[in-house]
Amino acid sequence: MANSVKEVVEYLKLYPMSTETEIQEDIWGYYRGSTWESNKKYADLLRRGLEKGLYSRKYVFNPNSKAKFFYFINK
């Protein structure tokens, strides 16, 4: 399957409140820390879905984690 926002929607139905890193790793096998490749392609794809209103993200401050934004399906 080609990289698409539909993949993100289906993933978030199963795993709500996922981080951007979790989404990129689980759907596309992209691991930010272990590649020289830019994550721009995947970040832009996630933002397209946000702009279309297919899902949202919420800022959550956690001093014990680098993750700040969590993605979920709009109801």
Of 59, 33, 44, 60, give the one whose Cα is nearest residue 8.
44
So where are the chain's domains?
5-73
pTM equals 0.84
Per residue in 20-75, pLDDT tens?
999 999 998 888 877 777 878 888 999 999 999 999 999 998 888 888 899 999 87
pLDDT at 63: 86
Return the CATH fold of 5-73. Answer: Arc Repressor Mutant, subunit A (1.10.10)
Half-sphere exposure (CA, 13 Å, Cβ side) for 60?
A: 15
Per residue in 18-31, pLDDT tens?
999 999 999 988 88
CA 75 to chain centroid, in Å, comes to: 18
